[in-house]
Chain A
Amino acid sequence: MERRHAVRADGITKCFGDVVALDGVDLDVTQGQIHGLVGPNGAGKTTLLGLLLGLAVADRGRLEILGQEVGRAFAAPDGVAGFVDGPGLYPSLTARQNLAALAALRGNDARTAGIDDVLDQVGLTDVADDRARGFSLGMRQRLGLAAALLTKPRLLVLDEPSNGLDPAGKRHVHGVLSRLAADGTSVVLSSHRMDDLEVLCSEVTILATGRVVFSGPLSKLATESRELEYRLRTSDPRAARDLAAATGGVKVVDDAGARYDAEVFVVRALTPALDELVAQLVRSGIAVRELAPVASPLEAAFLALTDQEAGR
């Protein structure tokens, strides 16, 4: 099966004076894939997104975007759109005027550029003629996404697109991104919202201090050999706790967190040991009413990997 790549970065290094923002970063983004970029503040996410958008050039390494090798000159190839550090909007213009000005900049007629369509996609039709000055952060994010969609991108680069979005806005944005990916557009997005990334992304890259500490499918993260903590609620907490303590590879964690509940306790285990515990609970006639990771696999992996990197 052929996998077409929208982005191929090989050993990208970018320095700002003495600060190494990116240190030999590799990144592959498959066409039609939503690829998440995760990392603590200062990890180099914005710098990497800036390189994809043509805002800067790498000091070393090779970067290929949509089949075009990016040279020493600024500017990404046609077909790349998006934003870093929030969408760029002009507060004195209305939402429609912002998009019309952008369409005119690209030589498109504002009437035929699909402005109404993209406003509808991001759920801003009702405020199309309101000045952007009065927009909330979430509305600005959606208008920024609409501006990117206007260019009919083949690679969409978004920095924290869910910032400030209410649940309805988030649903709109997730729907748009999923449809774009289904239509073959590649999306690279950074976020601190692990739940968003887990819902949207098929692959993630975790950055720490300018280096890639993990890159691959989310499923691979879950199977990485690291223990996760799970909340366990059963019909007989005391017996379940004893059983867990006796099960090999399972540790009972006394601290149940802020939400103290006598029926709930937390265990730490690898997936096989957890499976064994569940089997034993069932065999002992103890009903399992809730079993959920305290932190998502991505979040746990993120914390573990970035802690490791920071500790180096």
Chain B
Amino acid sequence: MSAIVVAEPVAPARRVSVARSYRFELVKLVSQWRIRLLVLACWVAPALFVAGVSQQSTLPSDTLFGRWMHATGWAGPLVMLGFAGSWALPLLTSLVAGDVFAAEDRLGTWRHLLVAVRSPARIFVAKSLASLTVMVVLVAGLAGSSAAGGLLAVGNQPLVGLDGHLLAPGDAAGKVLLAWLCALAPTLALAAIGLLGSVALGRSSMGLLLPVLVALAMQVAQMLPLPVAVRLALPGYAFIAWNGLFTDPAQLAPLLTGVAVSLTWAALATALAYLLFVRRDFTNPAYDGSGRRAITVGLLPLAALTAVTVGAVAVATPSTGSGIEQGKVQKSLATVFAHLYRLQTEQLHRPAVTEAQLRASAACTKSDGQAAQEGAGNDWRCVVSWHLPGVAVTGTAIYQLDITSDGRFVADGDGPKEVNGYFLVRTSTGDAPNPLWQFDGNVELLETQ
């Protein structure tokens, strides 16, 4: 009769550390041609784009800071940031974070990975960190490359802020860096949504597309005449709110709100993706994690978060309605005009004046006073008044304003032509259009006390 004994006991399951697992995930990501091409494109293409556009006679003046690309190299990375917030970053998050889990389903490697690492939780952390690392490298490439392209092509000149004040090159560099860092927050939110889509939708291409679709939905929402509280409660608002860094004083409240909302979305979407992932059954090869329950568990909390953040922003901020009110439009336009008037005076070699001496003010009406005097639209008409030292007559100039729902406006000079008509002025970087002809500005949507 043979005795039965068990094999000599071995050590219990030794899980692979997160650090090793993270390195493994990075190796897999970097080995993909798609990722290599993206890294190369993000580190090279922006420099070529900015340098190329800066040499053109026609500038992308419909893009924020685009009209200043001839004047300073620091406008380039901001133009790139505007473009990246709309298209590049959602697309990059789709291709990196949106695929990081689904790729294992496509390759059929989940079981292999689980046997090797022995911890779904650590796999999740490693994959999230690896995709985050790649995203940061891509964003750093976009920022660094576009800045390098601008500085090499145009130079390290002062930047005209969104309220017309001049930022010294050092200040401009710091603000540009800060703006890109702020844009990381909504990028993280999109990346987390990508992770959630990748976990919840499995092999479906919808998982890959989810960050792009969400970003598109956010952009459409920002174009609609939504109440301020709803606008700020959406994770994509921080892609716009960095504009506030380029005013003096900086419009920090909407920026910080946008960043906080984005980070909350990032945290919640990541937590949901984690919960779905660690509860997934990996023994069934036909099941890729997708299903009605996964989608419900993924979507409902995010919908609830939107409702909660809308409520929180509405309670925390006194702003209601569109946030674009007559008084704020007038104040913003007068401020930009005064700063740019100083710039024009300097460029035309006239006696210097200060903003305090100018005492600029604006009187604006919307739809010739026939409609409510608030909200977005291209039917704002303003008369700007200012004073010059030793001159008794008050100067006036007319502007047509096109204000978008996010508070940004383009002011188009409507006479007199000696003040805000189109003519060239000589600057240190060459001839440039009269700065008072057309300029950008923004209305702070939140009330400032």
Contact = CB atoms under 8 A, between A and B. Distances in A.
Contact of A88 (B4, B6, B113, B118): B113
A88 B32 CA distance: 16
Given A3-B5, A53-B115, A90-B107, A46 B283 contact: yes
A77 B115 contact: no
Given A78-B10, A84-B111, A186-B7, 19 more contacts: A2-B5, A4-B6, A53-B115, A55-B282, A66-B7, A68-B12, A74-B118, A75-B13, A76-B115, A78-B13, A83-B112, A88-B109, A88-B110, A92-B32, A93-B28, A102-B116, A104-B24, A107-B20, A147-B112
A105 interface: yes
Contact of A56 (B12, B14, B24, B281): B281
A50 B281 CA distance: 11
A105 B7 contact: no
A81 interface: yes
A187 interface: no
B283 A55 contact: yes
B436 to A, nearest CB: 56
A234 interface: no
B359 interface: no
B107 A88 contact: yes
Interface string B105-142: 00111111111111110000000000000000000000
A2 B3 contact: yes
B111 A154 contact: no
B24 A81 contact: no
A93 B16 contact: no
User: Which 10 residue pairs of A and B lie closest in terms of their CB atoms, listed nearest first?
Assistant: A88-B112, A67-B9, A88-B109, A75-B13, A75-B118, A50-B283, A92-B31, A56-B283, A85-B285, A79-B10
Contact of A90 (B8, B21, B31, B119): B31
A275 to B, nearest CB: 30
A168 interface: no
A92 B29 CA distance: 9
A97 B13 CA distance: 25
A71 B311 CA distance: 45
B282 A86 contact: no
A102 B16 CA distance: 11
Interface residues of A, number: 54
Most B Cβ at <10 Å: residue of A31, A51, A77, A93: A77
A31 B6 CA distance: 9
Nearest to B117: A105
A297 interface: no
A123 interface: no
Most B Cβ at <10 Å: residue of A6, A53, A75, A87: A75
Interface string B404-420: 00000000000000000
B29 to A, nearest CB: 9
Contacts of B24: 101, 104-105
A68 B114 contact: no
Nearest to A67: B9
27 contacts: A2-B5, A31-B7, A46-B285, A54-B114, A54-B118, A56-B282, A66-B10, A67-B7, A67-B8, A75-B118, A76-B13, A76-B118, A79-B10, A84-B111, A88-B111, A89-B109, A90-B28, A92-B31, A101-B28, A104-B20, A105-B16, A105-B20, A105-B23, A105-B117, A107-B20, A144-B112, A154-B10
Nearest to A19: B284
Nearest to A93: B31
A76 B115 CA distance: 8
A92 B3 contact: no
Interface in B314-367: none
Given A74-B118, A92-B32, A105-B20, A66 B111 contact: no
Contacts of B20: 104-107
A285 to B, nearest CB: 47
Contacts of B16: 105-107
Contacts of B7: 4-6, 31, 66-67, 154, 186
Contacts of B115: 53-55, 76, 80-83
Contacts of B5: 2-5
B108 A86 contact: yes
B113 to A, nearest CB: 6
Contacts of B283: 46-47, 50-51, 55-56, 84
Contacts of B281: 16, 56
A75 B24 CA distance: 19
B33 A92 contact: yes
Interface string A52-77: 01111000000010111000011111
Contacts of B6: 4-5, 8, 64, 66-67
Nearest to A87: B112
Contacts of A90: 28, 31, 107, 109
A41 B120 CA distance: 28
A182 to B, nearest CB: 16
A101 B130 CA distance: 15
B10 A1 contact: no
Nearest to B36: A92
B318 to A, nearest CB: 51
A90 B27 CA distance: 10
Contacts of B300: none
B303 interface: no
Interface string A1-26: 11111101000000010000000000
